[in-house]
Copies of this chain bind each other. A is one copy, B any other.
Amino acid sequence: MRRGSKQTPPDAAKLALNTATTREKWTLAQAIEGCARHGIRGIAPWRDQLKAMGVNRAARAVRAHGLVVTGLCRGGMFPASNVRERKRRITDNLRAIDQAYALGARCLVLVVGGLPPGSRDLAGAREQVAAGIAAILPHARDARIPLAIEPLHPMYAADRACINTLAQALDVCDALDAEKSGALGVVVDVYHVWWDPDLEAGIRRAGEKRLLAYHICDWLVPTADLLYDRGMMGDGVIDLPGIRSWLERAGYTGLHEVEIFSAAKWWKRDPDEVLRVCCKRHHRYC
């Protein structure tokens, strides 16, 4: 009875692992080897684990295993209370672009940041985000690292990202890269956008050039925690085949990156088991 859209199962070679899924048990080196072991062809590392492994060592390891780096997580976090802190964050984003370049990542994921401490000025924070992206875009163009704005679920508007819909992210793309050069685009993460009545239209509007990454997991009912209770594909209510069909119709040919924050369940399991389940669920529910 848990019905969504019918579709042909996705190509198994499209599966990728965002290392947030295994971060409690595996280092980046282990995650890279794990992907290779399970036939998973793409990986998206986080910068804390990347730093621990060393960028060059990580770059060698992903190349040795022939993995695609679907994205580097993450840049962003632009809004701040004062100019000095804003500049510090720009500098950090420039460094992230360099790291993405060294890794050969397909994009740098931007979680844009929320309200500065003590602020209630949401429109102002959104202006700071656009200004921050504008400030780093030239360097990203030079490095040929596309910047991928990730609209986050509205429940994170205050503290993580004040860009909360695909339409809003695409408005920023239009403002800063009107020519659709491919230097600026979006991440479609089903967890953040599945509820949006304008999602299909937004994916169509983004088009191939701006659809830089596709993140999958599921929305659990009930959801016990705002941050760390994402579900494995098939355990929740998101119509994953339906959303995939919209992406494919818009020309997206990239990977399907599993990103599951799950303190109570998947983070506690053996990551080899988690990856086996990801492969099965990708085939069956995505």
Contact = CB atoms under 8 A, between A and B. Distances in A.
A219 to B, nearest CB: 6
A2 B81 CA distance: 11
A242 B121 CA distance: 10
Nearest to A218: B120
A196 B196 CA distance: 12
Given A120-B4, A165-B197, A158 B221 contact: yes
Contacts of A162: 195
B2 A126 contact: no
A162 B117 CA distance: 32
Interface in A178-235: 194-197, 219, 221-223, 226
Contacts of A239: 120-122
Contacts of A221: 115, 158-159
Sorted from nearest, which 9 A-B pairs have the closest CB atoms? A4-B120, A157-B195, A1-B118, A154-B195, A120-B239, A155-B155, A158-B237, A158-B221, A154-B154
Interface of A: 1-4, 81, 115, 117-122, 126, 153-155, 157-159, 162, 164-165, 168, 194-197, 219, 221-223, 226, 236-239, 242
